[in-house]
Amino acid sequence: MTTLPTVSFSHFGLYVTDLPRMEDFYTRVLGLLVSDRGKLPGGSDLVFLSRDPDEHHQLVLATGRPPGLEFNVVNQMSFKLAALEDLKTMHARARDEGVKQFRVVTHGNAWSIYFPDPEGNRLELFVDTPWHTPQPVAELFDIEKPVETIFKETEALCRNRPGFSSRAEWRKTQVARMGG
Which among 10-14, 16-20, 158-162 has the top mean pLDDT?
158-162
Q: What is the pLDDT of residues 127-167, one digit of tens each?
A: 999 999 999 999 999 999 999 999 999 999 999 999 999 99
| pTM flag (> 0.95) | no
Q: What is the pLDDT of residues 30-88, one digit of tens each?
A: 889 999 999 998 889 999 999 999 999 999 999 998 887 777 778 898 989 999 999 99
- The CA distance from 157 to 165, in Å, is 12
Q: Which one, of 46, 16, 51, lies nearest residue 32 by Cα?
A: 51
User: Do 37 and 47 contact (CB within 8 A), yes or no?
Assistant: yes
Positive/negative CA dihedral, 92, 153, 159, 157: negative
- The CA distance from 63 to 70, in Å, is 15
CATH class belonging to 11-177: alpha beta
- The CA distance from 179 to 167, in Å, is 18
Residue 46: predicted pLDDT = 98
Name the 3-class secondary structure at 49. strand
Beta-carbon contacts of residue 141 (< 8 Å; ≥ 6 apart): 104, 105, 106, 111, 150, 153, 154
Residue 114: predicted pLDDT = 96
Residue scoring higher pLDDT (29 or 44): 44
Q: What is the pLDDT of residues 76-120, one digit of tens each?
A: 989 899 999 999 999 999 999 899 999 999 999 999 999 988 777
Residue 138: predicted pLDDT = 97
Residue 9: predicted pLDDT = 82
